[in-house]
């Protein structure tokens, strides 16, 4: 048994030596244009030489363990024959040939004719070497593991994408809600301007009322003074005429004071109403954020809506009453949401 293995190792070493010699040769080195010239060089045989050299170079890198001695010997003979063939090309001398072009073509043709038998002998060894050096079970396990990892990555990516989508939708909803809330709060400025206008007008009417009241009091004092000093010197007809005139003037002044006072009260009332609406809109965002559920938020919105859209008594008309209420406001919103008219 030891002698058999020793013979196998020796034959393998000889084959590898021959393959090493072949490995030192390149197809370009066989052209020899610098020696033979362009008319007699081996440029036409470069492709033929290269495929033979590459075949034996593949064999040199193959695992030859467990290859029978006889097979190794046949491979060694093929490698030596190829090496000798290339040596003839390297030793080719056009001066020593009767017909150098024909001899050159013969060497190229001979190399091409030997390739099929060389391939048929080397190819099975290369296939065995590749199969022996490749753990296909390991490759299959690795492939399955890779597919499983890809599936896991895909699953995690889908889960992450779903989570990001949910977070993005939440952010969008929050932005929309914030924009709506801020938009509601921004409308408070309209009621603020209206409240400021009514406040200014109420001050004007307050001053007007005071002035008219002062004029009325002054006129009343003058009338009393006049009647106490001048009236005894007048006749009855003159006294009657003067009394009627003074009553008319006093009535006008009295009516002007009452009318100015009512306008002041109406302006002040509208100032309070619009200030209430402004406060409702300004605090709307705070109460909505503090609400724990949608029902409470809806209630807050309803109250804010009623504070804004429910008609209020203006104060300019005597015995004025509300023309609508929460029920009418709700009916308007239901009609608007359902696409129907009021």
What are the domain boundaries of the chain? 2-135, 143-186, 189-337
> Does the model's pTM come out above 0.75?
no
Q: Which residues contact 71 (CB under 8 A, 6 or more apart)?
A: 125
Q: Give me 184's structure tokens.
A: 């509601």
Using 50, 70 and 90 to split pLDDT, how confident is the model at 244?
confident
How high is the pLDDT of residue 332? 44
pLDDT at 47 over 90: yes
Largest CA distance in the chain: 178
Percent of the chain with pLDDT over 90: 15
What are the phi and psi torsion angles at 316 (to 5°)?
Answer: -90, -15
Q: What is the pLDDT of residue 112?
A: 92
pLDDT at 119: 92
- pLDDT for 285 equals 66
For residue 229 the two structure tokens come to 């000093």
Of 38-47, 169-178, 308-317, give the lowest mean pLDDT range.
308-317
Q: How far apart are CA 178 and CA 175, in angstroms?
A: 5
Q: 185 near 305, Cβ under 8 Å?
A: no
CA distance 111 to 279: 104
What CA–CA distances, in Å, run from 94 to 32, 103, 299, 341? Answer: 11, 9, 111, 112
pLDDT tens across 185-225, in order? 666 777 788 878 888 888 898 889 888 888 888 877 777 77
What pLDDT, in 10s, does the model give residues 73-96?
898 899 999 999 999 999 998 888
Per-residue model confidence (pLDDT) at position 189: 75
Burial of 35-58, coded b for 16+ CB within 10 Å and e otherwise, reads ebeeebbbbebbebbeebbebbeb
- 135 token code pair: 């753990």
> Looking at residue 271, what is its pLDDT?
83
Mean pLDDT for the chain? 78
pLDDT confidence tier of residue 232, bands split at 50, 70 and 90: low
């Amino acid at each position: 048994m030891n002698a058999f293995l020793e013979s196998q190792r020796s034959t393998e070493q000889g084959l590898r030596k021959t393959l090493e010699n072949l490995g030192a040769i390149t197809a370009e080195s066989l052209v020899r244009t610098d020696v033979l010239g362009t008319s007699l060089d081996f440029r036409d045989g470069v492709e033929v030489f290269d495929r033979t050299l590459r075949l034996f170079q593949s064999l040199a890198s193959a695992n030859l363990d467990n290859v029978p001695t006889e097979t190794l010997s046949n491979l060694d003979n093929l490698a030596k024959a190829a090496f000798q063939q290339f040596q003839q090309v390297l030793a080719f001398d056009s001066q020593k040939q009767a017909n150098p072009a024909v001899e050159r073509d013969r060497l190229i043709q001979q190399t091409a004719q030997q390739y099929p038998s060389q391939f048929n002998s080397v190819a099975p060894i290369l296939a065995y070497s590749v199969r022996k050096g490749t753990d296909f079970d390991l490759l299959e396990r690795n492939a399955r593991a890779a597919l499983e990892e890809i599936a896991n990555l895909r699953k995690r990516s889908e889960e992450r994408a779903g989570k990001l989508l949910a977070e993005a939708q939440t952010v969008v909803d929050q932005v929309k809600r914030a924009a709506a809330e801020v938009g509601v709060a921004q409308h408070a400025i309209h009621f603020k301007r209206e409240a400021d206008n009514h406040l200014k007008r109420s001050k004007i009417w307050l001053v007007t009322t005071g002035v008219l009241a002062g004029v009325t009091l002054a006129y009343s004092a003058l009338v009393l003074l006049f009647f106490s000093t001048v009236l005894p010197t007048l006749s009855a007809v003159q006294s009657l005429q003067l009394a009627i005139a003074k009553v008319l003037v006093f009535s006008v002044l009295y009516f002007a004071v009452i009318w100015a006072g009512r306008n002041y009260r109406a302006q002040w009332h509208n100032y309070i109403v619009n200030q209430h609406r402004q406060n409702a809109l300004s605090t709307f965002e705070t109460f909505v954020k503090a609400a724990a559920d949608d029902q409470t938020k809806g209630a807050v919105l309803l109250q804010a809506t009623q504070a804004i859209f429910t008609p209020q008594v203006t104060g300019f008309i005597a015995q004025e009453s509300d023309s609508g209420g929460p029920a009418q406001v709700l009916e308007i919103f239901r009609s608007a949401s359902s696409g129907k008219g009021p």
